[in-house]
Amino acid sequence: MELTMGSLPVANVQALAAASRDVPERYIRPEAGAHPGFADCGVDIPVIDFSRFLDPDSSRDESSKLHLACQNWGFFQLINHTVPKEVIEKMKLDVREFFQLPLEEKRQLAQVTGDVQGYGQLFVVSKDQKLDWADVLYLNTQPAPERCLRAALDNYSAELKNLADRLLEIMAKNLELNPDVVTDKFKVGIQSIRFNYYPPCPQADKVLGFSQHSDADLITLVLQVNQVQGLQIKRSGEWFPVMPLPGAFIVNVGDIFEILSNGRYKSIEHRVVVNTERERLSIATFHSPQSHAMIGPLQELVRGSGARYKTVNHEDFMKLFFSSKLDGKSFLDRMRY
Ligand code: OGA
Ligand code: NI
C-alpha cells in the first residue's frame, strides 16, 4: 500500500456531533470499554516546580525529583513555569474562538493532501480504520513558521520552545550527557502545535477522542483549555485519568527521548476519553531535535548494555512513523532491536 504522509478526508466531528445523536459505527471502539469515567479521582503524577530550578538551594533536589519522574512515570505536571499567564490566556481564547467559527471558515485552513498540517483529522490512513472523536488544527510552528500566524500563537510558540529547551537541558544533565550532545540533540529544532477539539458524544464510553498512542517527539507540553477531564495514561496495564492542576502543563517524555536515552526514560502510552455533555479543548505542543540530528541511542548511554533501538535519520524516522500508523504496530516497537 502506498504511504501517505498525510490524512484521508473524513467527516468533521464537530458538525457530526451537532447534527445528530447517532454515533456512526466507525467511531465505536470495542477497547474504549468501561473507562473510569470522569470521577474526581485521578492518578497523582509527580508535580515539578520549575521555580525551584532557579534557586541554587533547591535546584539539585528538584532535578533529582525530575529524574525520578522521567524514569518512573514518563509524565509530570509542571507548575510555576516561565510562560506568562497572559500568553496562555490569549492562546486559550484564540483556540476557543477558532473552533467556534463556522465550518466554512475553519475549512480555509483545511489540510491539503499529503500534509498533516491544517484543520481536519489526524492519521486517517485507510478507508476502514476506526476513527477518533475529535477535530484538530495541526501546525508546524518552529523553525520559521510557514503560515501566517496570529500574535498569540507566535508568543505561545516562542515561550514554550524556551521552556522546553530549559527542561531538556536539565533532563540531559540528569543523564550526565556531555554538552556537545546536548547542543546537537536536546535543543528544540522542530516544534508543532496541535489544537484538539473533542465534541461531546452521546455514547462517550464507546468512542475515544484520541486513541491509544505515544508521542513521537522529545517532550510534549499539554495545556488543558477548559476544565473537562479526558486524558488517561497507561500504568501497569491500566488506564488512569490525569487531573491537571490549575495553570500547569502536563509534560511527557516522547519516543525520541526514550530512544536517545536508550530506554532510561520511557515514552508512556496515553489516550483521551470524551464527555457526554461537554466539549473538551486542549493544546499539545511537540518538540523534536533539528531535522539533521540522527535519532538513535546516545553512545554514552549504550556502553555496557548495548543499543536497544536502531539509529535512523529524520527522513526514515518520519517514514517509520507514518507506516506504524498504517499497520497499527507501535512506532517504538519498529525502532527496537
Ligand atoms: C496529543 C495528546 C492529550 C489531550 O495530542 O498527543 O495526547 O489531553 N493530547 O488532548
Ligand atoms: Ni499524545
Per-residue model confidence as pLDDT tens digits over 251-277: 999 999 999 999 999 999 999 999 999
Instruction: Encode pLDDT of 214-254 as tens digits.
Output: 999 999 999 999 989 999 999 988 899 999 999 999 999 99
The residue whose C-alpha atom lies closest to atom 3 belonging to ligand 1 is 231
Average pLDDT over residues 293-313: 94
The number of C-alpha atoms within 13 Å of 312 and in the hemisphere containing its C-beta is 18
Model confidence at 210, pLDDT cuts 50, 70, 90, reads very high
Q: What is the chain's length?
A: 337
Q: Give residue 154 CA to ligand 1 midpoint distance, Å.
A: 21
pLDDT of residue 4: 60
Pocket test for ligand 1, best of 218, 220, 249, 281 (most atoms within 8 A of CB): 220
Q: Give residue 244 CA to ligand 1 midpoint distance, Å.
A: 13
Stronger pLDDT, 211 or 149, i.e. the higher one = 211
Q: Which atom belonging to ligand 1 lies closest to the Cα atom of 196?
A: 10
Stronger pLDDT, 286 or 41, i.e. the higher one = 286
Q: Give residue 288 CA to ligand 2 midpoint distance, Å.
A: 14
pLDDT of residue 38: 43
pLDDT of residue 115: 79
Residue 106 clears pLDDT 70, i.e. is over it? yes
pLDDT of residue 37: 44
pLDDT of residue 114: 76
Average pLDDT over residues 264-292: 96
CB-ligand 1 contact for 210 (6 Å cutoff): yes
Model confidence at 33, pLDDT cuts 50, 70, 90, reads low
Residue 303 clears pLDDT 50, i.e. is over it? yes
Stronger pLDDT, 179 or 211, i.e. the higher one = 211
CB-ligand 1 contact for 52 (6 Å cutoff): no
CB-ligand 1 contact for 267 (6 Å cutoff): no
pLDDT of residue 69: 98
Instruction: Judge whether 88 and 223 are in contact, CB under 8 Å.
Output: yes
Ligand found nearest the CA of 209: 1
Instruction: Encode pLDDT of 150-165 as tens digits.
Output: 778 889 999 999 999 9
Residue 197 clears pLDDT 80, i.e. is over it? yes
Q: Which atom belonging to ligand 1 lies closest to the Cα atom of 286?
A: 6
Decide: helix, strand or coil at residue 85.
Answer: helix
Instruction: Encode pLDDT of 107-153 as tens digits.
Output: 988 988 777 889 999 888 888 889 999 999 999 898 865 554 577 88
Q: Give residue 156 CA to ligand 2 midpoint distance, Å.
A: 19
Residue 88 clears pLDDT 80, i.e. is over it? yes
CB-ligand 1 contact for 282 (6 Å cutoff): yes
What is the rounded distance in angstroms from the CA atom of residue 132 to the CA atom of residue 10?
11
pTM: 0.92
Compute φ and ψ for 174, nearest 5 degrees.
Answer: -60, -25
Stronger pLDDT, 207 or 184, i.e. the higher one = 207
Q: Give residue 55 CA to ligand 1 midpoint distance, Å.
A: 31
The residue whose C-alpha atom lies closest to atom 2 belonging to ligand 1 is 284
CB-ligand 1 contact for 215 (6 Å cutoff): yes
Count Cβ neighbours within 10 Å for each residue of 76-102 and write b for 16 or more, e otherwise. Answer: bbbbebebeeebbebbbebbeebbeee
Mean pLDDT score across all residues of the chain: 91
Residue 327 clears pLDDT 80, i.e. is over it? no
Q: Which atom belonging to ligand 1 lies closest to the Cα atom of 280?
A: 10
CB-ligand 1 contact for 194 (6 Å cutoff): yes
Q: Give residue 299 CA to ligand 1 midpoint distance, Å.
A: 31
pLDDT of residue 39: 46
Model confidence at 330, pLDDT cuts 50, 70, 90, reads confident
60 burial type by CB count under 10 A (0-12 exposed, 13-18 middle, 19+ buried): exposed
